[in-house]
């Protein structure tokens, strides 16, 4: 395949390409990879808004968007155009610079975290050793956008939303970090690619089963971290209008929207990587599938598996939103501090004991 | 190597600028954000020195947690700039003294390094496959395990102290009993009364 595409490029183009020093090659290839990943993420985000409205629509016995294009598939594009041509209003009493930069601060970490994401067995933009820490660090930086938006707007409702969101994210980040400690104990590495490799061998080898409590904690914390229903007190439209983004309109609002969905996609993908074997196929160890010719592709891992797992978790996000009423604020805090953190600490201890007695798939610990 | 040098000076310049901004900014929230930028630049410098674990942990702990709480507090305070300025002149003398002391110490270090008495500035690039995290962990949990445990105990002590200081039992405080709330049934809240239809008057 690669040779075929290489033969399409004329020789003089190759000569020009080879004339550049390796540093330029590296930069161009990396920039190209970044572009591909960014555009895919933004497309996924655009269509997940459509997906969300369809899913929630059918859960509430409605049709959802069906006017723009076939099956309403043009809806995200129409939304984008609408938001782009609306006027951006900057409140006169606001802190202008921070007001403008806040949506960017929420969006950038959500996109930057994709740098260490292993999309299949050999595609990853930056294969760094501390990948898991990098992801954790970046997801924790995203909260600044929300806080600054709330403060810079100079409005009571926005500030209240920012306060709620900050307290919530700080609380759930701890549980999230502890859940990841369990993952890295089991995977024996901070490199996301290695964590996926450690789960090779089908469903039974996934961390989902031995780390089930951590999986639940991580997933729910992820929902809380992205400020999605039922943890969306930061927006709380019934009491504080729309929380931190009350005064945002047009493109600035679109950026917040984009960041929220990009974060959801990110958390979904991360959960798939940490607990569901990432790009690995769930049927990997099932050798009898290889004998049946039309089913043998099932055992091969690849991007499509990661995408399917991601879609499943995105669906769960929407499912939760359509199912549960919003949590009361004190209940959120209680769940984060008094339930999740003890659960994770206990399970890490259990995991340690299991590893000591060599029960379960703790591949990395012996080495 | 040239590329790295350019990166180093860029990061260092931004870091110094941001650090100055922290001091000179008139708005406390801007100061906090500039401090965040300073931390980021410090992390970048550590990354250049191939200390990726420390760099990322700096971002994770300081930027991701400590500074968020800081911002939280600063945003809630209504800081009076004029009053704060009056305080500055009072603290100027000890402040300048401490700054001078730090400058002298730094100069000493640089001077000693120039004479080759302290380990030299350049260091060999780490070999392929070397994991910073693993290296740190293997030292921390073997040689320095006692100090590590001590740090853990001190931190635990601090947590308990902070909680005991802030947790006051006020008389007459109304709190929810979550278990009771969760266990509530419809029949506890609603009483259905059967009655005959009333006649029209």
Q: Mean pLDDT for each consecutive 10-residue tract of chain A (367 residues)?
A: 71 78 82 89 88 89 84 85 84 81 88 86 78 85 84 83 81 87 82 82 79 90 84 74 78 86 90 85 72 70 84 90 84 86 89 78 49
Do residues A130 and B133 make contact, with C-beta atoms less than 8 angstroms apart?
A: yes
Nearest to A168 by CA among A242, A119, A233, A84: A233
What pLDDT is attached to residue A366? 43
Q: Do B71 and A144 touch (CB under 8 A)?
A: yes
The pTM for the full model equals 0.82
Residue A212, CA distances (Å) to A160, A217, A243, A345, A348 in order: 35, 9, 34, 14, 12
A281 φψ region: left (φ > 0), alpha (ψ -120 to 50), beta (else): beta
| Whole-number Å distance between alpha carbons of A102 and A210 | 40
Put simply, whether A311 touches B (Cβ < 8 Å) is no
Residue B119: pLDDT band with limits 50, 70, 90 = low
Whether residue B3 and residue A334 make contact (CB cut-off 8 A), yes or no, is no
CB contact under 8 Å between A159 and B57, yes or no, is no
Rounded mean pLDDT, B9-26 = 88
The answer to whether residue B154 scores a pLDDT higher than 90 is yes
Cα–Cα distance for residue pair B45/B37, rounded to 1 Å: 12
Neighboring chain A residues of B29 at a CB cutoff of 8 Å? 95, 98, 148, 151
- pLDDT given for residue A367 in this prediction: 39
Return the minimum-mean-pLDDT range out of A350-354, B76-80, B141-145: B76-80
Please tell me the predicted confidence (pLDDT) of residue B150.
Answer: 94
Strand blocks (E) in A180-270 = none
pLDDT for the residue numbered A234: 72
Listed residue (A293, A165, A297, A138) closest to A226, CA to CA? A165
Closest C-alpha to A38, from A111, A129, A95, A120? A111
**CB B63, CB B47: distance < 8 Å:** no
Mean pLDDT of B165-189: 82
**What does each C-alpha distance from B140 to A37, A104, A341, B151 come to in angstroms?**
37, 38, 25, 12
> A10-19, A156-165, B21-30, B127-136 — which is least confidently predicted?
B127-136
How many helices, marked H, and strands, marked E, lie in chain A? 16, 0
Which residue of A163, A190, A331 is in closest CB contact with B133?
A190
Q: What span, in angstroms and rounded, lies between the C-alpha atoms of A238 and A313?
A: 27
Chain A partners of B126 at a C-beta cutoff of 8 Å? none
Q: Please identify which residue in the block is written with the tokens 């009364």.
A: B193
pLDDT number for residue A364? 46
What is the pLDDT, as a whole number, of residue B79? Answer: 66
- The distance from CA A28 to its chain's CA centroid, rounded to whole angstroms, is 26
What is the predicted pLDDT for the residue at B117? 58
Cα–Cα distances in angstroms (integers) from residue A6 to residues A3, A10, A13, A35, B17, in the given order = 5, 9, 11, 20, 47
């Amino acid at each position: 395949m690669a040779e075929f595409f290489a033969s399409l490029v004329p020789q003089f183009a190759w000569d020009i390409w080879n004339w550049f020093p390796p540093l330029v090659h590296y930069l161009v290839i990396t920039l190209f990879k970044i572009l591909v990943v960014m555009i895919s993420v933004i497309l996924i985000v655009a269509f997940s808004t459509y997906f969300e409205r369809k899913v929630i629509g059918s859960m509430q016995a409605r049709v959802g968007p069906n006017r723009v294009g076939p099956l309403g598939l043009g809806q995200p594009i129409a939304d984008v155009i609408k938001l782009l041509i609306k006027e951006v209003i900057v409140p006169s009493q606001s802190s202008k610079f921070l007001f403008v930069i806040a949506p960017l601060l929420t969006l950038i970490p959500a996109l930057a975290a994709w740098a260490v994401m292993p999309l299949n067995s050999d595609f990853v933009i930056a294969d760094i050793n501390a990948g898991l820490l990098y992801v954790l660090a970046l997801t924790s930086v995203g909260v600044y956008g929300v806080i600054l938006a709330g403060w810079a707007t100079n409005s009571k409702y926005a500030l209240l939303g920012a306060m709620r969101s900050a307290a919530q994210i700080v609380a759930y980040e701890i549980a999230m970090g502890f859940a990841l400690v369990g993952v890295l104990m089991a995977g024996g590495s901070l490199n996301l690619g290695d964590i996926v490799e450690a789960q090779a061998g089908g469903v039974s080898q996934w961390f989902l089963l031995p780390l089930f409590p951590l999986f639940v904690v991580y997933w729910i914390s992820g929902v809380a971290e992205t400020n999605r229903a039922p943890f969306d007190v930061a927006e709380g439209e019934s009491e504080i209008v729309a929380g931190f983004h009350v005064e945002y309109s047009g493109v600035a609002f679109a950026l917040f929207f984009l960041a929220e969905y990009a974060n959801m996609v990110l958390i979904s993908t991360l959960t798939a990587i940490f607990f569901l074997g990432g790009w690995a196929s769930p049927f990997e160890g099932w050798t009898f599938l290889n004998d049946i010719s039309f089913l043998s592709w099932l055992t091969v891992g690849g991007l499509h598996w990661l995408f399917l797992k991601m879609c499943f978790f995105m669906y769960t996000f929407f499912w939760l939103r359509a199912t549960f009423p919003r949590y009361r604020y004190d209940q959120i805090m209680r769940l984060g501090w008094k339930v999740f953190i003890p659960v994770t600490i206990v399970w890490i201890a259990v995991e340690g004991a299991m590893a000591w007695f060599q029960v379960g798939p703790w591949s990395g610990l012996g080495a | 190597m040239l590329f790295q040098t350019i990166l180093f000076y860029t990061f260092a310049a931004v870091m110094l600028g941001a650090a100055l901004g922290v001091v000179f900014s008139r708005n406390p929230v801007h100061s906090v954000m500039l401090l965040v930028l300073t931390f980021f630049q410090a992390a970048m410098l550590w990354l250049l020195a191939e200390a990726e674990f420390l760099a990322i942990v700096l971002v994770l702990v300081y930027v991701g947690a400590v500074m968020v709480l800081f911002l939280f507090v600063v945003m809630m305070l209504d800081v009076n700039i004029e009053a704060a300025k009056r305080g500055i002149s009072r603290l100027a003398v000890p402040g300048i003294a401490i700054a001078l002391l730090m400058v002298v110490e730094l100069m000493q270090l640089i001077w000693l390094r120039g004479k080759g008495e302290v380990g030299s500035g350049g260091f060999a690039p780490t070999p392929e496959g070397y994991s910073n995290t693993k290296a740190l962990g293997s030292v921390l949990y073997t040689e320095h395990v006692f100090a590590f445990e001590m740090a853990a105990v001190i931190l635990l002590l601090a947590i308990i102290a902070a909680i005991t200081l802030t947790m006051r039992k006020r008389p007459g405080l109304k709190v929810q009993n979550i278990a009771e709330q969760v266990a509530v049934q419809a029949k506890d809240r609603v009483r259905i009364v059967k009655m005959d239809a009333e006649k029209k008057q």
